[in-house]
Each structure stands twice: as structure tokens, then as C-alpha cells.
Amino acid sequence: MKNVGIISLGCPKNTIDSEKMLAILKEKGYNIVNDEHKADILIINTCGFIEDAKRESIEYIIEMGKLKNRRLKYLIATGCLSERYNKELLKELPELDAVIGTGDFPKIAEVIEEIEKGKTVLEYGHANLLNDEGIQRILTTPNYYAYLKIAEGCSNACSFCIIPKIRGRYRSRKMEDILREAEELVKKGAKELILIAQDTTKYGIDVYKKFMLPQLLKGISKIDGLKWIRLLYAYPDSVTEELVEEIKNNEKIVKYIDIPLQHSHDEVLKRMNRNTNRQKIEKVISRLRSIPNMVIRTTFMVGFPGETEEEFEDLKQFIKEKRFERVGVFTYSREEGTKSYYMKPQIKKSVKIERQQELMEIQKEISYQHNLSKVGKQLEVLIEGFEDGIYYGRSYMDAPEIDGVVYVKSNKKLKAGDFVVATITDAYEYDLVGEY
């Protein structure tokens, strides 16, 4: 029995593809290992979204390639970088035995059979396939939470983004298939389901000819044993009144939304081809703020081609004014194959980094003030672990891996997956401390 390992890079959508590949290989009789040093076959599920992600993926391939002098026999690259730079990867990285694109990962077992015959395999070009039905998953997240992909690809055509070319056009899954998978995940122990897609708020527009996220949320919330539903990657132009009402009134939906705004200035948004403007963004934020205790996470991009000091200043004031609870700031990455690649003037790297740091300093203080407001109050916390004599976990305000944590002091014996109500006693810039 051969040992197979997988290293999954990038976003949760990649995580799900990795979990499906593991299930396919286990069914074929392969032994799954978590240690690359014990693997006979190693898969690196790559990210190819921006420059830093591409670099990380390539560095992993080179580093893991060194293991081929020891136990490792075959090294395979899958995912977004493989779809985007298919032939180039095989040519430039001879340690690779196979390259598989985003739509071809279900062929993983057949590809391994081919490379065991001494062939070098290249499979790509099917990014528009929808490969989510009929394939089981071996969860790589802790069993008390799981990601649930409701759609694949994107049709938004933002001028800076390569995703439509490497993940294909927007394809919603059928509601009955999503509900079936959600029930299976809860049966496996998931107490929190985190809904993901490249754009969750457009769910259903292609299949049902209207936005169906509120109806999907209603259906998922009926599953017994499910505690939290979390919504990520909600685009502002399709946040409807109906969706806001569903979030507000559905007790299982945590009052948290990840809504990537990218910028505040109309001219920058226009160059980004964001299909929104400042007025619409203000309206969406106002709608969301009508939900009591709502936490808004957003991301902004600095250094987009042509971003002037005035446009950056507008963004700075916008962040100060809106006081989002969670903010990520990214520097613009110039990507081949995107419209913005050819835009002028391109902003110097040093200026982009300076602007990023300036915004994060502003946000750090906003985050700290928000956390201070929680001291003395009670928060429900999902316990995730125990370290250095203290438990840690997440409140409804925190998505895994991207937000802060709540440290919980307790003399009681707790375990990962427990929900406890902690009294908050202290606050840091991004984390909280409580007692139970």
C-alpha cells in the first residue's frame, strides 16, 4: 500500500478540492499520511492568485522535490498555478511528474497510475467543469467545523483578477446537492458550516435565474445539530434586503460577514471594474449595520494602477469613518492576463507597502477599541485547543485562520468543539481574554 500526502495552499476552496482528492485516493486503496517524509507520492495543491501565492507554491514544489532523493517517488502539482502555468511548470520544474489543473483533479488516481508507468502527465483546460457532486471528502479541518462550497468560478471580471481564467465562469451547485452535503458534514460532527464561493451572494443566479442565498441559508439552518452558519466572500453588489433580513432573523447565522470592498473611491472602483460605487457601498454597509452586533470583515487593495494620493486619502478616511471590525489590506499584484496589467501608471512597490502599513496601523487601533468594548461582556466561544495553561477558541466574530482568537481561562475540563459562554476580562489589538 503506497503512502500519499497532500499539501494544500491558498484558500478554503482549494482545501475542499484537496479533501476530495484524498477521498478518491483512499477509495483506491492508498494510505493517507500527514507527514511528507513518509509519503511515496506527494501532491501540492497550489495557489496562483497573486505573486506572493505563486512564489510560495513554487518554493514548496522545489523544497518537496528534494525529498525525491529519499523515500518520495512522485511529486504532483495540482490547483490554480497548475491550471494557469501548466506547460511552463513541467518545463521549468523537472522534479514534477504531473501537473493537473483546477477542473481535472478528479483524475488524480488515473494520473498516478500513468506516472507509475514512467510517463509525465499534463491535465488541464477544463476549468469550467463542476466537480463537486458525487465525490466524498476526507476533512482536513477539525471535525467541529467544515467549509461548504456553494458555487465555483467567477463571472465578475474584475480588472485585477485572474480567477475567471483559472477557475472558470460562475457555476452554482444545485440546492439539493448542497443541503445533502451539509447534512453529511453535520453528521460527521461539524457544528459550524462556513459557506464559500468566489462570490457567495450571487448564488443561484445562473441555475435559478435569481439570487437564492437566503433560501439556501434557510434550508441549511433546518439541519439538527448545526450551531453556526458563517458567510464568507459576499460581494457588495448582490447583498439584497432579503439576504440582510435572513441574516438578521436566522439564529443559526452568525452576525458576521466577509464582504471584499477593495476600495472606496469611485474612479478606482471603475478602473477595477467592480460593478459598484461609493454610494452603493454606503447603502450596503448601512443595511448590514441594521443587524444588531454585526461584525463586518472586509479587504482593501492599495497601489492599484493610477491610485493617486487623493484616492488613497479617500480610502484612509473611509476606513476611519466606517470602523470595520475586521480589515485585511493587500498590495496590488500585477498579473499577466488581466486588464490591469497594461494600465498606467503602475505604482512603485515601496509606495504600495507604505500605504498598506499606514492603513493597517489605522485598523489596529480601530480593532483594539472594538475589542475593548467587549470587556465585561459575555461571549459564546467555540473551544479549539489548549496551550500554555489556557484554552483558546473563536467567538462569532472570528473566522478560522484569518481572524483573532479568544483565550479562555477555566478550571473546568474542556475539549475542542465545546461551546462555552466566557466573560471577557481583557483585550488586545486582535485577540480577547475571558474566563469560564
In a domain, 134, yes or no: no
**197 and 160 housed in the same domain:** yes
CATH code of residue 172: 3.80.30.20
**355 and 423 housed in the same domain:** no
- Give me the pLDDT at residue 1, please: 83
Among 373, 391, 415, the domain boundary falls at 373
Among 328, 358, 373, the domain boundary falls at 373
CATH code of residue 66: 3.40.50.12160
**283 and 346 housed in the same domain:** yes
154 a known binding residue?
yes
Total domains in the chain come to 3
- Give me the pLDDT at residue 84, please: 93
User: Would you tell me how many other CB atoms lie within 10 Å of the CB of residue 204?
Assistant: 21
148 a known binding residue?
no
User: Would you tell me how many other CB atoms lie within 10 Å of the CB of residue 306?
Assistant: 15
Dihedral over Cα of 250, 256, 260, 265: its sign: positive
CATH code of residue 397: 2.40.50.140
Residue 305's domain comprises 145-373
400 a known binding residue?
no
- Give me the pLDDT at residue 378, please: 98
**366 and 430 housed in the same domain:** no
1 a known binding residue?
no
**366 and 381 housed in the same domain:** no
**70 and 181 housed in the same domain:** no
pLDDT tens across the length of the chain (436 residues): 899 999 999 899 999 999 999 999 999 999 999 999 999 999 999 998 788 888 999 999 999 999 998 899 999 999 999 999 999 999 999 999 999 999 999 999 999 999 999 999 999 988 887 776 888 999 999 999 999 999 999 999 999 999 999 999 999 999 999 999 999 999 999 999 999 999 999 999 999 999 999 999 999 999 999 999 999 999 999 999 999 999 999 999 999 999 999 999 999 999 999 999 999 999 999 999 999 999 999 999 999 999 999 999 999 999 999 999 999 999 999 999 999 999 999 999 999 999 999 999 999 999 999 999 999 999 999 999 999 999 999 999 999 999 999 999 999 999 999 999 999 999 999 999 999 9
Sheet holding 121-123: strands in order across?
A: 31-32, 3-8, 41-46, 74-79, 98-100, 121-123
In a domain, 28, yes or no: yes
**184 and 266 housed in the same domain:** yes
231 a known binding residue?
no
**360 and 223 housed in the same domain:** yes
158 a known binding residue?
yes
**54 and 191 housed in the same domain:** no
Among 373, 390, 406, the domain boundary falls at 373
End-to-end CA distance of the chain: 47
Whole-structure pTM value: 0.94
**84 and 213 housed in the same domain:** no
**368 and 386 housed in the same domain:** no
